[in-house]
Amino acid sequence: MSKPVFSIIMIICKNVSKVYSNIKVIDSTSVTFSDVGFFLLSGESGSGKTTFLNVLSGMIPFDSGTIKIGDTEFKGRADASAYEDGYDYITQDTYFVDYLTVFENLSILSDDESRIDSALEEFGLLKIKDSMPVTLSGGERQRLALARSLLTKKKTLFLDEPTASLDRDNKIAVFEQLKKLSRDMLIICATHDGEADRYADQIIRFEKSKTQGSSSDKSRETVADASPNKATDRKKLTKYVGKWFTSSARGKKSDILLLIFLSISMCLCLLTDSPKNKYYSNIQYVYNINSLTIVSPVEKTGEITALKGRSGVIDVVLKYEESIPAEAPLGEGELVAPSYAISGHTIPFDPKSFRLSDQLYAGTFFKNEYDVIISYENAKKRCPDNFADAVGQTMTVDLYGKGSTELKIVGVFKKLNDFQVQYMKSLGITYGVSSLYDERNYQNNYYINSKLTNGYLDYDEFKTEFGKRSFDLYFDNFENMMKFRENYDGSLGVITPRTLSFSEEGVFTSLNYITIPLSILIMLLAVFYYGDLTSTELSYSSRFISVFNYCGYSIKDVKNCFIKLSTLRLLIISVISAGIAFVLSALFNLLNEKIVFIGFRVFTYNLPVVIGFIAMMCVFSVVSVNVFIRRVKAATWYENLVSTRDLL
């Protein structure tokens, strides 16, 4: 190596004293250090060697005397910034970021890969550049600390017992490296190891002092929060702190439990919906209801039928069973049961209008106006051995104005599940669901088609005793149906409400009383549990924060970076949990539609509610991470030494 120009010529100490617990640990020490060379502070433990190093580095104040660094003289406390090219400080307790490789640890201080490789090669460590620090021997860790120091290009190096825990061979290797480095820099090494004497350019002896003394300023006894390095690259800090979250240094239990609980919480949120929205969601997506019933004066028939093809109306069906007189006049003031049939139900001739047209157990949908489809229960009554045999049979019905009419059975509906029953109920067709179902009530059910009933449109007598007719308007989609209902002015008649098995109130309102508080409670517990567990994990492995501090990042910067990354990770987990909840809820809804073990759609998606819940989850995530992580007491790089070393 060629000797570089070094701006700090020397360090001059004159009558420097330092008092600890009324004992002069350093007693009027005067010594001069040149800008290069290997200077040894020798003496037994407790003789003040480490204290003198700390005084020289500006870590702690001194009580009397002066220290001149370059051209600047200090009283009371040296200023680390006076070391124009900075200094480095290595102890026997070498700390590294254990979840980073050897190479990554050095990369915190340098972006020059070739320089890092050269430093590792110089200390015989190149072959272990991809190893983790925890796998290194004591000697390798000390040499790695020296290699890290070499990267910083400092011209002053303080070492405190660098070989205390090494065997003789490793000690010799370290001292030989130090001797080599001292040709171009100032090395001041505190040690009680006699092996170092033969490598030193000068030995300064320290002895335990028994001289009484007192500190001149107790307020200055705090350890300086100063790093021997300076770093400003926040992207690099984010990159390397971020590796902690995916390292084996921390467990994955907190992430997994958080994901599970947030997914449960999100599922409960999807259960939570306004009764009105859940009601209409079931109508639209589960029951597939696409019709409204209007009871209209007979003279409005033309206007009603003219609605087809407008406002999303795809079919207009005159309902036979609701448009004929239920009773016939016999004489003045007397009524008798009519001779014609008033049973049967009218459904569209066009299968595109009727949402259950594909729910046939046997046969086909309507082909002709005198075709009829019967219920599953009716077919079972007619042909108990083989329901399909009912297809092709005929049945005679006394129709209004037509007398006995032969109808051909062309199809048999499947046994309807609870969802399909709701569709039938929306058409005014009575059906029982679940425990209310009794097949005997539906053994006579049959369905005529609108092509047949539309033949009555020109029959002026075809009306109820109140002069009314009932029409079903079928729409192409739910939105158009609701829009028509909202904008309808009542000029054509009255829209008749149909009673489903579930109303806007009742079960949906009751469900909210349970799901809303429960979803919020689970979410809060999960988020705060994660924050607490993360801070606990960090507390037990917080020494890596000290390493970043040694490399030049403030404790505040490191913690803020950790908070930012923890928050981001929590938000990512929240989004994943939302995705899982959506998938699980969709699968549950799909399974329920196939098997129907709950008679309505359990999970509905109210976008404002979901967005509001996720926003609340994000807010609490940020609060949780900030509250818990800011409680972590992360020590500076030197405070870690204070906690584990005898500093005298």
Per-residue pLDDT for 333 more than 60? no
Tens digit of pLDDT for each residue in 248-287?
Answer: 766 677 788 888 888 888 888 887 777 777 778 888 888 8
Residue of higher predicted confidence among 476 and 629: 476
How many Cβ atoms are within 10 Å of 390's Cβ, its own excluded? 22
Residue 531 amino acid letter: G
Cα 494 to the center of its chain, rounded Å: 50
- State the pLDDT at residue 505: 52
Tens digit of pLDDT for each residue in 19-55?
Answer: 987 888 898 999 999 989 999 999 888 888 889 998 9
Tens digit of pLDDT for each residue in 575-607?
Answer: 898 899 999 999 998 888 788 777 777 888 778
Percentage of the chain lying above the pLDDT 90 cut: 35
Q: What is the greatest pairwise CA distance in the chain?
A: 138
Q: 282-286: list long-range contacts, CB under 8 Å, 24+ apart.
A: 282/422, 282/502, 282/600, 282/601, 282/604, 283/426, 283/478, 283/500, 284/478, 285/601, 286/419, 286/422, 286/589, 286/593, 286/600, 286/601
What dihedral angle (degrees, nearest 10) is formed by the CA atoms of 622, 627, 633, 636?
A: 40
- State the pLDDT at residue 58: 87
Residue of higher predicted confidence among 504 and 142: 142
pLDDT confidence tier of residue 63, bands split at 50, 70 and 90: very high
How many Cβ atoms are within 10 Å of 242's Cβ, its own excluded? 16
Q: Provide the token pair at 15.
A: 């009558």
- State the pLDDT at residue 605: 78
User: Helix, strand, or coil here: 347?
Assistant: strand
pLDDT confidence tier of residue 6, bands split at 50, 70 and 90: very low
Per-residue pLDDT for 247 more than 70? yes
Which residues is 191 bridged to in the sheet? Answer: 42
CB 416 within 8 A of CB 424: yes
Percentage of the chain lying above the pLDDT 70 cut: 87
Per-residue pLDDT for 561 more than 90? no
- State the pLDDT at residue 219: 40
- State the pLDDT at residue 480: 94
- State the pLDDT at residue 7: 44
Neighbour-count burial of 274, counting CB atoms closer than 10 A to its CB (0-12 exposed, 13-18 middle, 19+ buried):
middle
Q: What is the mean pLDDT of the chain?
A: 84
Residue of higher predicted confidence among 228 and 519: 519
Lowest mean pLDDT among 388-397, 468-477, 487-496, 550-559: 550-559
User: Helix, strand, or coil here: 485?
Assistant: helix
Contacts of 295 (CB under 8 A, 6+ apart): 322, 468, 469, 470, 493, 494, 496
Which residues is 373 bridged to in the sheet? Answer: 411, 447
Contacts of 488 (CB under 8 A, 6+ apart): 495
- State the pLDDT at residue 638: 67
Residue of higher predicted confidence among 376 and 643: 376
- State the pLDDT at residue 1: 37
- State the pLDDT at residue 347: 96
Residue of higher predicted confidence among 285 and 491: 491
d(CA 216, CA 34): 29
Ramachandran bin of 124, using left for φ above 0, alpha for ψ from -120 to 50, beta for the remaining angles: left
Per-residue pLDDT for 613 more than 50? yes
Lowest mean pLDDT among 188-197, 407-416, 523-532, 583-592: 523-532
Which range of 227-236, 406-415, 639-648 scores highest in mean pLDDT? It is 406-415
- State the pLDDT at residue 2: 39
Per-residue pLDDT for 327 more than 70? no
d(CA 52, CA 29): 9
Tens digit of pLDDT for each residue in 67-80?
Answer: 999 889 999 999 88
CB 369 within 8 A of CB 451: yes
The DSSP code sequence of 98-166 is TTS-HHHHHHTT---HHHHHHHHHHTT-GGGTTS-GGGS-HHHHHHHHHHHHHHTT-SEEEEESTTTT-
- State the pLDDT at residue 554: 82
N residues, the chain: 648
Q: What are phi and psi of 247, to 5 degrees?
A: -90, 165
CB 537 within 8 A of CB 251: yes
- State the pLDDT at residue 475: 96
Q: What is the arithmetic mean of pLDDT over 483-503?
A: 81
d(CA 121, CA 127): 8
Lowest mean pLDDT among 122-126, 430-434, 516-520, 617-621: 430-434
- State the pLDDT at residue 540: 65
